Amino acid sequence: MNGAGDEAFIAAVKPLVDAIGGEMVPPDEAAPEDVVLSWEGSEAVAVRLPQLADSLDHILAAMERRKGKPLADLDRKAKQEVVRILEARGAFSVRHGVETVASALGVSRFTVYNYLNRQKEA
């Protein structure tokens, strides 16, 4: 990480990295699977992406913050909307995704599957 320009760039991308549950590391410590971001011709920072299952936990936590209360406290319609958003983001392609979401919403797996099926029929 170099000068003040790099520091401003890093500060600008930090909210995005935090939202996805990533970790920022110096470019010279980047692993092959990390994403190195360049700014003004030089490598500024490397982003270590989370495992998919960890991303789902971060997405659920962010949704809770946005709603201002635990997802389990939402009404049925709001829970259905959460399931719709999560499906669009690929949450149910993650191993144990349905179970993780059901637990966060305080409903059964069967209910999550019902919400998903209801969307496909609409």
| Mean of pLDDT over the chain | 89
What token pair was written down for 112?
Answer: 């999550």
Neighbours of 45 (CB within 10 A): 23
Residue 35: half-sphere exposure toward Cβ, Cα within 13 Å: 8
Which residues are CB-contacts of 76 (< 8 A; sequence separation ≥ 6)? none
- Residue 68 banded pLDDT, cuts 50, 70, 90: very high
Q: Indicate yes or no: pTM above 0.75.
A: no
- The winner for highest mean pLDDT among 3-17, 19-33, 49-63, 64-78 is 64-78
DSSP for 26-43? -GGG--TTSEEEEETTEE
Q: Which residue has the higher pLDDT, 53 or 95?
A: 95
